[in-house]
Structure 1
Amino acid sequence: MNIIFKRKSVRTYLDIDVDDATVEQIIRAGMAAPSAKNQRPWEFYVIRNKETLAKLATCTPYSRPVANAPVAIVACYRTKDVFEPMMTLLDMSCCCENMLIQAAALDMGSVWLSFAPHKERQEPAKEALNLPEGLEVFAVLPVGYPRGEGKIIDRFDPARIHWEE
């Protein structure tokens, strides 16, 4: 469980490539996430092209970290052929958290850049990636070797725990 507490949001990266095997390990962790009725709504796009990364960096007010990452994992979800459409975003959240934890376990940095459920963020990303109909962008996870140490924040707050005796 220590790796959960090691994970932090990393927004700047060294100019060092991340190999395909490392990216695959991160995505494999995402695919290990639970999903409603095992619908596994996810599809992933691995982006290394600098022009595409630059386009993704302009899609939201918060997506600038994509521009300086060596690679980004775009986590998408299917809107067709899913059993529980209302659960899709929850499924994708589990998936992305698994990928962030696995990235930290591999000493990589990443940050969750949220696109869904904001159509004004999703549409330019869909266009930049030329996504097919029935596929939506959930989040973009830039991945790279962290530039600097960063800070791990202890978020535990015992006041939010309510014990029933």
Structure 2
Amino acid sequence: METLEAIHTRRSIRKYTDRPVPRELVTELLRAAMSAPSAVNAQPWVFIVIDDRKILDEIPTFSPYAGMCREAPLAILVCGDTTQEKAPGYWVQDCSAAIQNLLLAAHDAGLGAVWTGIFPMTDRVQGFRKAFGLPGHVFPLGLVPVGYPAEKPSPQDRYREEKVYNNRYGQKRE
């Protein structure tokens, strides 16, 4: 799959088959995530691969928009370790880039995935801290349920000319 095709056809997948995702494929997703750019190449990310059914079923009790974990064969928790930062505060951008790479790699591999937000919602952050034993310097940014898709949403063209300006805010392109 070419890069632009992957970008334009990737969709958030919330329904999965019960087919397990091979460990080698999970490693490839993580390899792609860790290939993301990061400020000063700090790579402040930490990943927790969750494939325990009991834990996956519990996640929606403290993360209300992660109900699809009850169907997904696995999820990847993406966290930022602030002790690894070289440019304070950039862990959010760094880990966001890693999540986008993970989503595109999953799509390219024929998997479905969806980014569910955690940070900065205090209740969700605390829920993930407690459930996964995260120390104070490790912040959960997002959870990505992953699996073989049981749905196939159509691609959408989301380009909107009205959101593009030229040189200054409010100045339309000609």
Q: For this structure pair, what is the TM-score category when the shorter chain's length is used for normalisation?
A: over 0.9
In the TM superposition, what is the alpha-carbon distance from 1:45 to its structure 2 partner? 0.6
- Does 2:56 align with 1:53? yes
- Does 2:25 align with 1:7? no
Conservation of the 8 A alpha-carbon contact between 1:52 and 1:129: no
Whole-Å separation in 2 of the counterparts to 1:11 and 1:158: 29
Name whichever of 111-120 and 127-136 sits farther off: 127-136
Gaps of 5+ in 1: none
Q: CA RMSD in A?
A: 1.4
- Which of 82, 85, 94 aligns to 1:82? It is 85
- Which of 112, 122, 127 aligns to 2:115? It is 112
- Does 2:150 align with 1:158? no
Whole-Å separation in 2 of the counterparts to 1:67 and 1:122: 20
**2:112 is matched by which residue type in structure 1?**
G
Aligned to 2:151, the other structure's residue is in SS state: coil
The alignment's TM-score, normalised by the length of structure 1, stands at 0.94
Whole-Å separation in 1 of the counterparts to 2:154 and 2:166: 31
Q: Percent identity?
A: 32
The alignment's TM-score, normalised by the length of structure 2, stands at 0.89
- Corresponding residue for 1:23? 26
In the TM superposition, what is the alpha-carbon distance from 1:126 to its structure 2 partner? 1.6
Question: Cα deviation per residue 1:73-93 (whole Å; 9 max; x = unaligned)?
Answer: 111110223112211101111
Whole-Å separation in 1 of the counterparts to 2:61 and 2:96: 22
Aligned to 2:143, the other structure's residue is in SS state: strand
In the TM superposition, what is the alpha-carbon distance from 1:135 to its structure 2 partner? 1.4
Whole-Å separation in 1 of the counterparts to 2:39 and 2:79: 16
Say which one has the larger Rg.
Answer: 2
Whole-Å separation in 2 of the counterparts to 1:5 and 1:69: 23
In the TM superposition, what is the alpha-carbon distance from 1:22 to its structure 2 partner? 0.9
Conservation of the 8 A alpha-carbon contact between 1:55 and 1:128: no
How many residues are treated as equivalent by the alignment?
A: 165
Gaps of 5+ in 2: 168-173
Aligned to 1:85, the other structure's residue is in SS state: coil
Whole-Å separation in 2 of the counterparts to 1:85 and 1:141: 24
